[in-house]
């Protein structure tokens, strides 16, 4: 499959990031299941059903994403057209209802990835799954694959991370400057609202004043994400949750697509061949923005990302 090339009428990483929000199609009707997590909490998983022997793709969403994110909707349509099944797990608190436990989710949540994949693997009668993640979900998935090494092949045919923030410190600090602060404020609006609701349920869980005062992701992660999930602070969280150090340990076919004009991730911090195992394919196109990948004539469509995933799992994981 040809590498991604942005249309001439949509120049620049910012425009390529934002345009999909204007052209995303209406979501398909999916079947929702509520699963009980190992700690008694719950997650909601949306399913595009199909024959039990059809290929099964699991797609992990990004920060504050859901099955209604544009990349999830476009992937659902592509899977429907190809006759594939699709599972869209929601990280805790992202399906429209606050989760039961104090914890939420984070960029290095490989333990959450693991039990979800194991449950889907069992439901698939022991056949390996195709596993992909977008942005935060891609980072967590690639980290999981690196941690599991050769045992990852027991559950998946391969893994794909699309626009994963592989170096969280580089991404977090980059989002605190210039126009990127627009994205930061968008994330903080929903993160703070959910965190405030969590604090009402669990008083004293973290410092409410610091949470409300946070003006960037570093301050929010230092005040909320880190203490909720057992990290010493934002620096500790960003270091330990980044997937980049684990890329050398991946022992299943893997794809990492990171446009060099992604406003979330400075190109100077992208991994090179020396940073990854021989099974990791790096694609770093000049265009695409952050999970943009708009293609074809005006106003464009969002087919490239799901088609890249299907092609990878059909032809590049054997």
DSSP labels, 105-164: --TT-HHHHHHHHHHHHHHTTTPPEEEEEETHHHHHHHHHHHHHGGGGGGTEEEEEEES-
Instruction: State the average pLDDT over residues 51-57.
Output: 97
Domain boundary among 190, 217, 241: 241
DSSP-based three-state secondary structure for 25: coil
Q: Taking 90 as the threshold, does the pLDDT of residue 92 lie above it?
A: yes
The fraction of the chain above a pLDDT of 90, given in percent, is 99
- Whether 120 contacts 56, CB under 8 Å: yes
Together in a domain, 141 and 260 = yes
Instruction: Give residue 318's pLDDT.
Output: 87
Residue 55 DSSP symbol: -
Examine residue 7 and state whether it is found in any structural domain, yes or no: no
What pLDDT band is residue 296 in, cutting at 50, 70 and 90? confident
Together in a domain, 23 and 58 = yes
Examine residue 1 and state whether it is found in any structural domain, yes or no: no
Together in a domain, 83 and 131 = yes
Examine residue 49 and state whether it is found in any structural domain, yes or no: yes
Q: Taking 90 as the threshold, does the pLDDT of residue 65 lie above it?
A: yes
**Cα gap 98→107, rounded to integer Å:** 18
Examine residue 192 and state whether it is found in any structural domain, yes or no: yes
> Is this structure's pTM higher than 0.85?
yes
Q: Taking 90 as the threshold, does the pLDDT of residue 125 lie above it?
A: yes
Instruction: State the average pLDDT over residues 215-241.
Output: 98
Examine residue 3 and state whether it is found in any structural domain, yes or no: no
Instruction: State the average pLDDT over residues 103-129.
Output: 97
Catalytic center residues: 135, 262, 290
DSSP-based three-state secondary structure for 199: helix
Together in a domain, 139 and 273 = yes
Q: Taking 90 as the threshold, does the pLDDT of residue 80 lie above it?
A: yes
Together in a domain, 69 and 81 = yes
What pLDDT band is residue 6 in, cutting at 50, 70 and 90? very high
Together in a domain, 72 and 220 = no
Domain boundary among 241, 257, 289: 241
Together in a domain, 62 and 175 = no
Together in a domain, 109 and 76 = yes
Instruction: Give residue 246's pLDDT.
Output: 98
Average pLDDT, the chain: 98
Domain boundary among 213, 241, 269: 241
Instruction: State the average pLDDT over residues 221-232.
Output: 98
The fraction of the chain above a pLDDT of 70, given in percent, is 100
* 116: containing domain: 13-166+243-315
Examine residue 5 and state whether it is found in any structural domain, yes or no: no
Residue 212 DSSP symbol: H
Instruction: State the average pLDDT over residues 242-257.
Output: 98
Together in a domain, 127 and 188 = no
Q: Could you give the number of structural domains in the chain?
A: 2
């Amino acid at each position: 499959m040809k590498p991604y090339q942005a249309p001439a009428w949509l120049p620049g990483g910012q425009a390529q990031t934002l345009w999909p929000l204007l052209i995303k199609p209406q979501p398909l009707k999916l079947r929702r299941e509520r699963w009980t997590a190992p700690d008694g909490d719950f997650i909601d998983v949306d399913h595009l059903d199909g024959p039990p022997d059809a290929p099964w793709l699991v797609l992990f969403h990004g920060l504050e994403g859901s099955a209604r994110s544009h990349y999830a909707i476009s992937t659902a349509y592509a899977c429907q057209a190809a006759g594939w099944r699709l599972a869209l797990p929601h990280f805790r608190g992202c399906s429209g209802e606050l989760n039961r436990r104090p914890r939420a989710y984070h960029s290095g949540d490989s333990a959450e990835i693991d039990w979800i994949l194991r449950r889907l693997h069992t439901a698939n009668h022991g056949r390996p799954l195709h596993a992909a993640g977008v942005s935060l979900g891609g980072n967590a998935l690639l980290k999981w694959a690196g941690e599991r090494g050769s045992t990852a092949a027991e559950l998946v045919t391969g893994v794909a991370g699309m626009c994963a923030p592989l170096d969280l410190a580089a991404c977090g600090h980059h989002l605190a400057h210039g126009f990127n602060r627009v994205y930061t404020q968008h994330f903080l609006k929903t993160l703070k609202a959910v965190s405030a609701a969590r604090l009402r349920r669990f008083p004293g869980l973290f410092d409410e004043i610091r949470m409300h005062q946070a003006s960037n992701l570093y301050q929010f992660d230092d005040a909320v994400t880190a203490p909720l999930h057992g990290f010493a602070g934002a620096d500790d969280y960003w270091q330990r949750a980044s997937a980049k150090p684990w890329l050398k340990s991946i022992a299943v076919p893997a794809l990492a697509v990171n446009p060099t004009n992604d406003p979330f991730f400075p190109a100077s911090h992208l991994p090179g061949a020396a940073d990854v195992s021989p099974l990791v394919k790096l694609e770093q196109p000049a265009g695409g923005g952050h999970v943009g990948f708009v293609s074809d004539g005006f106003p464009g469509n969002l087919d490239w990302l799901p088609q890249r995933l299907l092609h990878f799992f059909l032809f590049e994981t054997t």
